[in-house]
Structure 1
Amino acid sequence: MTFATMPKVELHLHHEAAAPPSFIRQLAQKKKIDVSDFFDDEGNYSFRDFGHFIQVYDGATAPLTTPEDFRALTYVALEETAKTGVIYAETFLSPDFCGNCDLVAWKEFLAAIKEGADAAEKDFGIVHRAIVTCLRHEGPENAIKAAKCAAETADDYVVGFGMAGAEMMGRPGDFAYSFDMARESGLRLTCHAGEWGGPEMVADTLRDLKVERIGHGINAINDDALVDKLVEDGIVLEVCPGSNVVLKAVSGWDDHPIAKLRDRGVKITVSTDDPPFFHTTMTKEFENLNRVFGWDRPDFDALNTTAIEAAFCDDKTRAAIVKRLEAAKND
């Protein structure tokens, strides 16, 4: 079995940023929206650095304005993800992009997204669950609105709450109320930290937001005591190596701390973050980890096991995915 056909579990994928460039360009053309500044001459997303990436992200997703847009996006994004062997994916959904955090509008968008996910599961076999995210750079008050949307729609499909966006704006504690609200509704919690901030950002996030997973978290490697705490508390890192390399959060694949973190006993998963933006897929992530660190099938089986154990889905869904992973080991 090749890395391409190996079944995979992905936990860190931004919903809007999984849109193929061609899908966005066609939608923009249909709506007569000029998005040309966000693509290179070959039609790919184009940005200079992380700050510019945020601008391009917002601009390129501007054509996504209606529930039907998001239904279509969900189907095509999950189709592309399934092509790389992913059988279970959790994606980050932001109410900011789906009705500006208006609860009534959010429910309409969410229903359409669920339709797209159901169709993708039927056609491609990929199981999808949603993690509602607030955007850090929109501030704590807006985060409360996003958390309310999450809490009001928590079910077997909307399974988690988290925070993405510009990591260095504000402190984790500023958003504690939102995370408390989500937790009380039964949602499980994750948060981006330690991609750009140092280990203290990871430590503050764990202390103030009480999450069980950390998005990225790679700079934890710079604090031995924090690494020990991650191991002791069973905190799972949603690591996105290709993303970190492209955005220069690390100097290159050889410098990425994923292997050191895993060797220390930290629970590691691998995801693509924003795959078409970073010219990556789950298959390419596996291939690069094999090339640079020598990881092979047993290592990736272990990654999948960690990921599905850390997934926010219900036990019935988890058992079904585990069964599919186990069956593939015999192929």
Structure 2
Amino acid sequence: MILEEILKIIPKIDLHCHLSGSVRPETILEIALEEGISVPTNEINKFKSHVQVNDDCKSLKEYLTKFDFNLMVMQKAKHIERITYELLQDTAKENVKYIEIRFAPMLHMNQGLSFEEVVEAVIKGKEKGEKEFDIKSNLLLICMRHQSPEKSIEVVEKGAEYIDRGVVGVDLAGNEHDFEPTIHEEAFKLAKEKGLHRTVHAGETGIPENIIISVEKLFAERIGHGVYAYQNEKVLEYVKKNKIPLEQCLTSNVQTKAVSNFESHPIKTYLDQNIVVTVNTDNMTVSNTNLHKEYERLIEYQNFNFDDIKKVLLNSVEVAFIEKSEKEKLKLKVEKEINSIIKSQR
């Protein structure tokens, strides 16, 4: 069995997946028409260009414009629930066993939904999806860098009420060039006190120093992207020494021009240096990707072999924001399926 065929059956884990960036284009168009939202075309193939980037994408700023329609159709509870359910349906089909779905509740409150209604809608979609498909999921609530520290504290305080319903942590995302991580220091200190896990987007398109700041000041247990760690020797050594997990998203990093091409991405270098890296999708729709495609590109452009894939998967299990007993179950499930694949090769 060749490596590409193994990818179809190997168990997968996605720790960095944005809900609003992973909506089926067909669903976006359908809801937009239902809600009377003006769209440039009713033809799905033409519409896709408005919610997906292509190879000509020049920056993260341009990349983020593809979220506009997605967020417009995610302002009602029923639509948010449906979109969450469909994400689990789609990922389960490619043998994803565990996914952490992240979303910013504040971005779905533009038409009257309360914080609680947004979170409840995602939870309903999650619970329905888990019941119907062979997949486990948890939720991460995003605090936005450009919003006030008070908004982030509100996300943490209200989010902590849902710890027993699948909300396991918080994230900080947005423009890291204009908004320092420490603006939201108090919120993340509170998150730690309330038992919420912490991950922070840092070193995605520059400023590698934000990685250390996020760990030391925001108590980050994982770093979203961390692509630019290699540009600062002190940061790179810090990541190695402290075993800071990096949530790597190959395709989106190429599209946002965090790296110039697939070959120049540092993920394999990090892995070979025993840095804890995981492989993730970031935004399945905007990047037109899934975990299968991510691993395919790693094989093609980064010379990943089966041992590399296995290592990354077990890294993902190890750093997942799940309870110890659940982690052990997930680890056993992943190891069992991997060993079964190895056995079939003999």
TM-score normalised to the size of structure 2? Answer: 0.89
Match of 1:82 in 2: 92
Contact 1:140 1:174 in 2 (8 A): yes
How far off its partner does 1:124 sit? 1.9
How far apart are residue 42 of structure 1 and its match?
5.4
1:34 corresponds to which residue? 38
Q: Distance in 1 between matches of 2:67 and 2:130?
A: 27
Q: Is the aligned partner of 1:6 residue 2:10? A: yes
State the partner residue of 2:260: 251
Aligned-pair identity in percent equals 29
Q: Give the gaps of 5 or more residues in structure 2.
A: 342-346
The match for 2:178 is 169
1:200 Cα offset (Å): 1.4
- For the residue of structure 2 that corresponds to 1:61, the secondary structure is helix
Q: Distance in 1 between matches of 2:175 and 2:64?
A: 8
- Following superposition, the deviation at residue 70 of structure 1 comes to 1.1
Quote the offset at 1:294 in angstroms. 1.9
Instruction: Provide the aligned length of Structure 1 versus Structure 2.
Output: 330
Q: C-alpha offsets along residues 269-306 of structure 1, whole Å, 9 cap, x if unaligned? A: 01010011111110011011111222122211111111
Q: Distance in 2 between matches of 1:289 and 1:233?
A: 25
SS at match of 1:275: coil
Report the secondary structure of 2:7's partner residue: coil
**In 1, Cα distance between equivalents of 2:101 and 2:78:** 18
Distance, in Å, in 2 between the alignment partners of 1:189 and 1:74 is 22
Q: Are 1:287 and 2:292 counterparts? A: no
Contact 2:145 / 2:181 at 8 angstroms: preserved in 1? no
Corresponding residue number in structure 2 for 1:66: 76
Amino acid at match of 1:43: K
Conservation of the 8 A alpha-carbon contact between 2:66 and 2:286: no
**Preserved contact between residue 202 and residue 214 of structure 2 (Cα < 8 Å):** yes
Partner of 2:28: 24
Check if 1:150 corresponds to 2:159. yes
Moved more, 154-163 or 52-61: 52-61
1:233 corresponding residue in structure 2: 242
- Whether the 8 Å CA contact 1:212–1:236 is kept in 2: the answer is yes
Structure 1 residue 101: Cα displacement = 12
Structure 1 CA distance, aligned partners of 2:257 and 2:242? 29
Q: Does residue 317 in structure 1 map to residue 322 in structure 2?
A: no
The residue that corresponds to 1:204 in the other structure is: 213
Q: How many angstroms apart in 1 are the aligned matches of 2:110 and 2:324?
A: 32
Match of 1:180 among 166, 189, 199: 189
Q: CA deviation at 1:139?
A: 3.5
2:321 alignment partner AA: F
| 8 Å contact kept, 1:91–1:130 | yes
Give the TM-score taking structure 1 as reference length: 0.93
